[in-house]
A = this chain, B = another copy of it.
């Protein structure tokens, strides 16, 4: 089919595209960046443009307000060219530094209501330069000439370059009359010219970055277009290190004690990342060479293993990491299959068990700018938490174990297709109805499903306050299994694999230890700063639970403090979000460096308080029922 022309006003820039191309894509080809928080899914409703002439097909799916519709606006991402068209771009739809700031900002406002934000200035970016040609009277050398031109556009006096890039400079400068396009990496006080092309070719040059969250159980990656700041794709999978142990302690033991254990763990996570990146690049048809910057957030042990640093002393008293801030390294040093010279930077850690993932979460939630007292909890294999506001920040970690991620639970699994996320038990017959992710046959139970399960079993009296199955109840679902007493949630003829899905008394003990650890951690932190639970203005829940966790369930089992549910907010994978924010904002990256040092670490194992709290929390919901007034005390 013949191509059609899209003319953008008021820019008066035209591009030729295939019919059916979205206006968002066409704008990108024309070098015009539109605001698009959702990355083209039609959900953010921000890439508004006006069709001034010609025909476009508008999909019905987009989030377009009535008011915008009445003004004759359409969503660029949901509108597809059918003929030559003239498209007007309102200034509010144009991506400027401030709007990307607002963009990230809006996400935050929804989450916790801050109005703080960061400017869009990626750690690696493309800059077009026009140099003044040298003369006999003004005979500055090529490299110094380039530096002078760069200093006018970037806020940095210390500009470096590697020998291989420097060698190409003179011919590139003279190819298109002293006009060049340079790719600049800038993390702290010093910038580096990492590549140069002749002419003004910003549009033609591709530049991508990766934001990576390395969890003990899962790895998640965002591929970001560093020219626009927009996500191109995201992928996640299990961390292949899992075959060497479920939690950080077993990984540390493997790294420290097995021969070749450290390189083995390092290459497991690197290969996990490489496979995810390869998929992402293939899907979006992006050249690995164009990926030039990586930000990584992970807990302290994960960061150590990713860089091949020994985590040995993290586990031994007095629990000392090898490094809190780690050096920027090149992708080639780690074996990442992207541009070998790409810089890879990791978020700094606060302590052995409070890592860069928590710093990233603290960054992206703007916690350090808040007036109100905020509690941020990231429940993964470890339970890590930050409490504070703009004046003070304390942080602590407790070993929750992998139960909430499905680890150590007979039928535990991640919240994927077939995972039970909710159960209903008939209080008379003890019959069970389950709902699963994807509404298909059950495979196992995910974290939020386990919490709901515990709350429900307790509510109908199948377990008592100590988590013991009430084996005298008259139901065949309660039976002796290989692993002691168990309760059948789904019989084999209704499961995906044909086996009965059960929850064992042993699973329940594991879950109770996990929830007790998290609650005890929160209590110990509050005591350390002499606050009570009701003084917390807002609780942010980060981690794999996402929006699936039922807060009432969590309160019912005593995992979370008994606060009004409206004080709770889910913020998803804040570690990944923080990594993405730092990738596209130098200011955010610098703030992250400072955050680490602003946070006071409480070592929970240093005193007896945590252990006392933990022991008291090994009940449903707690020994001290006055702490959970909203939870009915059952028999």
Contacts and interface: CB of A to CB of B under 8 A. Distances in A.
Interface of A: 134-137, 139-144, 158, 160-163, 166-167, 169-171, 189, 307-310, 312-313, 317-327, 329, 333, 349, 351-352, 601, 603, 606
Leading 5 A-B pairs by shortest Cβ distance: A143-B323, A141-B321, A141-B324, A136-B318, A134-B320
Nearest to A158: B189
Contacts of A161: 327
Contacts of A317: 136
A141 B320 contact: yes
B324 A143 contact: yes
Number of copies: 2
A609 B202 CA distance: 47
Do most interface residues of chain A lie in helix, strand or loop, or is the interface mixed? loop
23 contacts: A134-B320, A136-B317, A139-B320, A139-B351, A139-B601, A140-B320, A141-B322, A141-B324, A141-B349, A142-B320, A142-B321, A142-B323, A143-B322, A143-B324, A143-B326, A158-B189, A163-B309, A163-B329, A166-B309, A166-B326, A170-B312, A170-B322, A171-B310
Given A142-B313, A170-B313, A318-B136, A163 B324 contact: no
A274 to B, nearest CB: 18
A325 B143 contact: yes
A137 B603 CA distance: 8
A134 B318 contact: yes
A308 to B, nearest CB: 6
Given A136-B318, A170-B322, A320-B134, A308 B143 contact: no
A143 B352 CA distance: 13
Contacts of A170: 310, 312-313, 320, 322
A195 to B, nearest CB: 15
Nearest to A171: B310
A257 to B, nearest CB: 14
Contacts of A143: 322-326
B327 A166 contact: yes
Nearest to A308: B167
Contacts of A352: 139
Given A135-B318, A170-B312, A144 B603 contact: no
A319 B169 CA distance: 16
Nearest to A334: B163
Most buried by B among A163, A313, A319: A163
Contacts of A309: 163, 166-167
A516 to B, nearest CB: 23
A307 B163 contact: yes
Contacts of A318: 134-136, 139
Given A143-B322, A144-B323, 19 more contacts: A134-B320, A136-B318, A136-B319, A137-B606, A139-B352, A139-B603, A140-B320, A141-B320, A141-B323, A141-B324, A143-B325, A144-B325, A162-B327, A163-B327, A166-B322, A166-B327, A169-B322, A169-B323, A170-B312
B603 A163 contact: no
Contacts of A319: 136, 139
Contacts of A322: 141-143, 166-167, 169-170
A327 B160 contact: yes
A317 B134 CA distance: 9
